[in-house]
Amino acid sequence: MFSTRSIRQRFLLQLIVASAALVLLFSTSLYLFIQKSIYEEKQSELVNTAQNICNSKSLIAAQQNNPDLLLGLNVELVTLTNEHEPLEFYETEAKNKRILLTLLYPFEFERGTYLKISRDITPTKLLLQKILRSIFLINVFGFLVIILYAIAFSKMLIAPVSALTRRLANMNEHLLRPIQVESLPEEFEPLGETLNRLMGRIQNFVKYQKELFIGAAHELKTPLAVIKLKNQVTLIKPRSPQEYIDAIRITNQSVEEMNKIVSNILNIGRQEGAQLEMPSEADIVQILTKWGNDFTLLAHSENKHLNVHLEPESFSAFLQVTLLNQIVQNFLQNALKFTPEGKTIRFESYLNGSDMVIEVIDEGSGIDESVDLFAPFKRQGNKSGVGLGLFLAKSAAEAIGASISVTNRTDGVEGAIARLILPSKLYCLLPQR
């Protein structure tokens, strides 16, 4: 039985059925054409004989003009009613199982006399039967060839997929190697490129997960060591109440640092859950406007300026809004954190071709572009923080199919540009009302 889930088996079955139907149709047409041609030739011979006899008005005279005219023929003159067709052919079977082809041809139509000319076509019938058997044998052989060809052709088509499957089956997160796309058939190049991108994301995920575990352990180890050391010093000898209060205050500070690390690690888990949410349609510009209004108030409270310039007026997207909010919030928080008082932050969006670009441009100290800022626990500058914000933003951007980058400004002003690009294949401009 052919499985309906197997593309190869379905293709094999369809190819066999289609090819067999084509061979059967061609063979049937060929046989009917041969049969018709032979019968037309025999009928034409009988008609020519009848015309010669009618023109001579005598069998003897007709045979004198053409001695071989009546060879192998049985000619009779019969009287029939006018109900018969002017020219009529039919087959009869003689007593000796010979097949006769008979022609009724009008001799004297007014008197109802006809020439009844018969020819033995048994050899012709036997020849047609041999032709039919030969065509049948050819069809059987051709059908077997079609099956073998279909099997070989289906194997050839499935070979690249099988090769990719074997290669991927032998891989693990430690032995991921890109697929040589140029060695694949042209039809499978997009699949190879997609798998390479997927493997790249897996490698980055594994790399960042390892860094996350190592960084989390390192970050938690430091405040724990401080707490332990302070407690050991406190227990060496009795202290005054104020000294105990100071020791507890330092311990609480270390605990607060640990709480921040744990909260950020929990945010990673929440974000992975958000990546599993069903995407929904949203107006990107409307979301950006809300964030612009919120952070304008925060910037003003810190004696900083936030200039918001968003284009176009509307832009529809089909994505997880929670993940977009995380990215935009992280961009604005970092810009607000690293921009000195009295300086300006620009929050912009615009179309680049058909892609939408979202940028947050600050006037901070810039970044070290040789450092992978998207790795977990990577921090820039002297500001407090765990170093997981950009790591979360990168993961969120990959989940919604966008690209993210952080670079230094190139307009002569010190600062950084955080950029998010929403590709046009996933998003579209809303029609203006």
Query: Rounded distance, CA 260 to CA 270, Å?
Result: 15
Q: Which long-range contacts (CB under 8 A, 24 or more apart) does 123-130 make?
A: 124/38, 124/42, 125/99, 127/38, 128/34, 128/35, 128/38
Each residue of 30-75: pLDDT tens digit?
A: 889 988 888 888 888 888 877 777 776 665 555 555 555 566 677 7
Cβ neighbors of 153 (< 8 A, separation 6 or more) are: 15
Query: Rounded distance, CA 222 to CA 211, Å?
Result: 17
User: Is the pLDDT higher at 235 or at 123?
Assistant: 123
User: Is the pLDDT higher at 228 or at 290?
Assistant: 290
Mean pLDDT, rounded, for 320-332: 86
**Is the CB of residue 366 less than 8 Å from the CB of residue 416?**
yes
Q: Where are the beta strands (DSSP E) in 71-146?
A: 73-79, 88-93, 99-108, 113-120
- Boundaries of every domain in the chain: 7-144, 203-275, 280-429
Each residue of 279-310: pLDDT tens digit?
A: 788 888 999 999 999 899 888 888 999 999 99
User: Is the pLDDT higher at 253 or at 355?
Assistant: 355
- Looking at the predicted structure, is the pLDDT value of residue 172 above 70? no
- What does the angle CA 304 – CA 305 – CA 308 come to, to the nearest 5 degrees? 150
Mean pLDDT, rounded, for 334-345: 90
Residue 100's pLDDT is what?
Answer: 83
Mean pLDDT, rounded, for 229-249: 77
User: Is the pLDDT higher at 222 or at 426?
Assistant: 222
| pTM more than 0.85 | no
Residue 216's pLDDT is what?
Answer: 65
Q: pLDDT-derived band of residue 411, with 50, 70 and 90 as boundaries?
A: confident
Beta strands 344-352; 355-361: pairing state: antiparallel
Q: Which CATH class is domain 280-429?
A: alpha beta
**Is the CB of residue 427 less than 8 Å from the CB of residue 316?**
yes
For the domain 203-275, what is the CATH code?
A: 1.10.287.130
Query: Rounded distance, CA 389 to CA 36, Å?
Result: 85
Residue 232's pLDDT is what?
Answer: 78
